[in-house]
Structure formats: C-alpha cells, structure tokens
Amino acid sequence: MERSLTELSEDYFKAAEDINCLIAKYRKQLNEAYMANNYLKTYEIKRKLTIFYDQKRDILATAYALRNYYEKDRRMVLA
C-alpha cells in the first residue's frame, strides 16, 4: 500500500503525541522520586526524559519536513 507524504507525516505527529504521554508519565514519576528524596531514581528518570525529548524533537522535525516537502518545490518555482 502506497502512502502519501502527508499521511506519513500524520503518523509522525501521532508518534509525537505518544511520546508526550510517556513524558507526562515520567514527569509524574520524577516528581514522586524527588519528593521521596530518591536521587538515584531521579537521575534515571531525568536521563529517560532527556531521551524522550530528543526523540520528540527528531520526530517532529521529520513530520514537518514530510508535510512541507512539496511546499519547498512550489516556493522555488515561484521565485
């Protein structure tokens, strides 16, 4: 099944929403670990959050690139 770039970009935006759910879950755990003075757990959760934020940034960059792929060509033709 062939899919358009716009459809693929929507999949990436959905993946970014899924990562937002994970971020919210771990932010709550981070707060609980911090309140419990569990600094080892706090450190581990911060590392995971950093990875999730990096993944989200990369996913959103790809989603926007896919969504705007043809816009770049149109701007070049009009210029």
pLDDT digits (tens, 9 = 90+) for 13-38: 999 999 999 999 999 999 999 999 99
What whole-number distance in Å separates Cα of residue 79 and Cα of residue 72?
Answer: 11
Which positions ≥6 away from 61 have C-beta within 8 Å?
none
Q: Compute, in degrees rounded to 10, the torsion defined by CA atoms 31, 42, 38, 22.
A: 50
Q: What is the pLDDT of residue 78?
A: 52
When pLDDT is averaged across residues 37-66 and rounded to a whole number, the result is 97
| Per-residue confidence band for 2, with pLDDT thresholds at 50, 70 and 90 | confident
Give the count of domains, the chain. 1
Q: What percent of the chain has pLDDT over 70?
A: 89
Boundaries of domain holding 64: 5-78
Report the Cα 52 to chain-centroid distance in Å: 7
pTM score, two decimals?
Answer: 0.80
